[in-house]
């Protein structure tokens, strides 16, 4: 019997990040110490600065066409193939795309080339939230409803949540949830200008934390109300919530009240108590205010915190892609029997009231909480269910 009668199952999935171009290659690396990011040139201040960035494995950073044509197509094809959907099911499914930059990386290259050929080149003239989704619809013959989400760091988490709601409402039978976040100057310079990028690495919830390290990711998942094959260990979305905190234009309230509210609503949505949660995938940006708000919010909901993990030290902060990318990586890890640890951090997170798992630990069937708290105060929590035993 399913853990939750209104679950929406992940029946196909793929993710390409710095860890690798597929989930089977990426997940074992979550048992190891996180690697180091590459360095990109940033001349925003007039002097050359090296900006740390977790870039896609096996891809030339400067070749945006490869990213949008090959990488994007490959992960979608893999997810659909894993799901075993036929041509009619693909045509009828919905498309839910979440990103904070969409096709800006490709447009920046177009603009740079235009500057070489003409005097009145227009920046960002041919990009927009709907263009990526429309191209995917045409390429894969998708005729169902499509929605594009740009809610900063919660973009693809919200895409997954609304895909779940659309399936549960009976609007569609299957949904393709997609995210794309590729390195671009607009994003890099923006965060560098805000002085939010760390030069010292990702240290979530640590007293030494001093900012984010950006990362690229592209991920796709097929959701369905139809459970996977009997006996197969599965991941499903069992509940969730999305709230917008209007405290600030940039961050959620540091007292943690908004974080606590969205977590409580997510637990209520899944019809479970705080004590039912096996472990938490924290958002863990490693910013001073963001980590403080998340810690206070969680501690106000959980009298005793379960194990806590963070994925960003492994792949960087993938912004609009972190919702789906971290869901798939964390979900695949617990399917394989372990909750990732975060080795290399000290115990100095105790000043926030808790510390992260330092080493991987056993993942048992049950419920897991995934947190995402976006720039601008958009907050999302998802409850996922792990069902079945390891084969």
Which of the pair, 236 or 51, is modelled with greater confidence? 236
**Could you give the C-alpha distances from 248 to 198, 204, 317, in angstroms and in order?**
22, 22, 21
Confidence of residue 1 (pLDDT cuts 50, 70, 90): very low
Task: For residue 57, give the 3-state DSSP assignment.
Answer: coil
pLDDT for the residue numbered 160: 98
pLDDT for the residue numbered 45: 55
**Tokens representing residue 202 in the block:** 């990702």
Which of the pair, 219 or 62, is modelled with greater confidence? 219
Q: Roughly how many angstroms between the first and final C-alpha of the chain, as a whole number?
A: 18
**pLDDT tens for residues 274-317?**
999 999 999 999 888 888 899 999 999 999 999 999 999 999 99
Helix (H) or strand (E) holding 373: strand 366-373
Of 128-132, 256-260, 305-309, 349-353, the least confident? 349-353
**Tokens representing residue 223 in the block:** 């959701």
- Reference 262, options 247, 248, 242, 282; nearest CA is 242
**Could you give the C-alpha distances from 109 to 63, 126, 181, 186, 203, in angstroms and in order?**
9, 11, 15, 12, 33
% of the chain with per-residue pLDDT over 70: 93
pLDDT for the residue numbered 344: 64
C-alpha to C-alpha distance for 294 and 281, rounded to whole angstroms: 11
**pLDDT tens for residues 139-166?**
999 999 999 999 999 999 999 999 999 9
49, pLDDT greater than 80: no
Which of the pair, 67 or 266, is modelled with greater confidence? 266
Task: For residue 40, give the 3-state DSSP assignment.
Answer: strand
**Dihedral of CA 212/213/217/221: which sign?**
negative
- Reference 250, options 301, 296, 293; nearest CA is 293
Of 20-34, 119-133, 218-232, 356-370, the least confident? 119-133
Query: In sequence order, which ranges of the chain are alpha helices (DSSP H)?
Result: 23-26, 64-65, 72-83, 87-92, 104-117, 129-140, 155-168, 185-193, 257-269, 288-301, 312-315, 322-335
pLDDT for the residue numbered 76: 97
**Could you give the C-alpha distances from 328 to 17, 77, 259, in angstroms and in order?**
12, 16, 22
2, pLDDT greater than 50: no
389, pLDDT greater than 90: no
Which of the pair, 51 or 354, is modelled with greater confidence? 51
pLDDT for the residue numbered 93: 97
C-alpha to C-alpha distance for 308 and 280, rounded to whole angstroms: 5
Q: Are 8 and 22 in contact (CB under 8 A)?
A: no
Of 32-36, 118-122, 384-388, the least confident? 118-122
Other Cβ atoms less than 10 A from the Cβ of 28: the count is 12
Taking the C-alpha atoms of 121, 99, 315 and 327 in order, what is their torsion angle to the nearest 10 degrees?
A: -170
Task: For residue 174, give the 3-state DSSP assignment.
Answer: strand
Q: What pTM does this model have?
A: 0.95
Place of tokens 């390429």: 139
43, pLDDT greater than 70: no
3, pLDDT greater than 70: no
**pLDDT tens for residues 218-258?**
999 999 998 877 667 899 999 999 999 887 766 777 788 99
191, pLDDT greater than 90: no
pLDDT for the residue numbered 46: 57
User: Chain-wide mean pLDDT for the chain?
Assistant: 89
Confidence of residue 78 (pLDDT cuts 50, 70, 90): very high
% of the chain with per-residue pLDDT over 90: 63
Q: What are phi and psi of 205, to 5 degrees?
A: 65, 10
For the chain, count helices (H), then strands (E): 12, 15
**Could you give the C-alpha distances from 176 to 82, 163, 208, in angstroms and in order?**
12, 8, 39
- Reference 58, options 75, 42, 43, 79; nearest CA is 75
pLDDT for the residue numbered 167: 97
47, pLDDT greater than 70: no
């Amino acid at each position: 019997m399913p853990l939750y009668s209104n679950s929406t199952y992940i029946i196909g999935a793929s993710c390409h990040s710095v860890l690798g171009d597929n989930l089977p290659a990426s997940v074992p690396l979550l048992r190891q110490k996180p690697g180091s990011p590459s360095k990109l040139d940033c001349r925003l201040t007039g002097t050359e600065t090296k900006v740390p960035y977790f870039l896609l494995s096996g891809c030339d950073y400067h070749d945006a066409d490869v990213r949008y044509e090959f990488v994007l197509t490959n992960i979608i094809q893999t997810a659909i193939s894993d799901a075993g959907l036929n041509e009619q099911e693909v045509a009828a499914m919905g498309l839910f795309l979440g990103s904070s930059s969409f096709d800006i990386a490709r447009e920046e290259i177009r603009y740079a080339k235009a500057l070489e050929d003409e005097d009145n080149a227009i920046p960002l003239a041919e990009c927009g939230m709907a263009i990526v989704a429309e191209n995917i619809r045409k390429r894969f013959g998708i005729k169902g409803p499509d929605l594009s989400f740009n809610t900063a760091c919660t973009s693809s988490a919200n895409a997954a949540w609304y895909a779940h709601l659309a399936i549960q409402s009976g609007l569609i039978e299957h949904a393709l949830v997609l995210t794309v976040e590729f390195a671009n100057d607009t994003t890099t310079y923006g965060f560098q200008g805000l002085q939010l990028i760390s030069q010292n690495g990702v240290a979530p919830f640590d007293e030494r934390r001093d900012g984010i390290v950006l990362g690229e990711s592209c991920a796709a998942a097929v959701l369905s109300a139809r459970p996977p094959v009997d006996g197969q260990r599965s991941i499903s979305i069992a509940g969730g919530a999305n709230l917008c905190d209007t405290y600030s234009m940039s961050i959620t309230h540091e007292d943690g009240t908004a974080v606590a509210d969205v977590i409580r609503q997510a637990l209520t949505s899944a019809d479970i108590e705080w004590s039912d949660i096996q472990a938490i995938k924290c958002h863990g940006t490693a910013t001073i205010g963001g980590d403080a708000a998340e810690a206070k919010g969680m501690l106000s909901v959980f009298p005793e915190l379960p194990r806590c993990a963070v994925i960003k030290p492994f792949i960087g902060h993938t912004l609009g892609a972190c919702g789906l990318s971290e869901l798939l990586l964390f979900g695949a890890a617990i399917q394989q029997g372990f909750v990732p640890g975060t080795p290399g951090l000290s115990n100095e997170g105790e000043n926030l009231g808790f510390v992260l798992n330092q080493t991987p630990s056993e993942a048992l069937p049950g419920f897991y909480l995934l947190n995402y708290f976006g720039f601008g105060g958009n907050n999302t929590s998802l409850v996922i269910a792990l069902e079945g035993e390891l084969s």
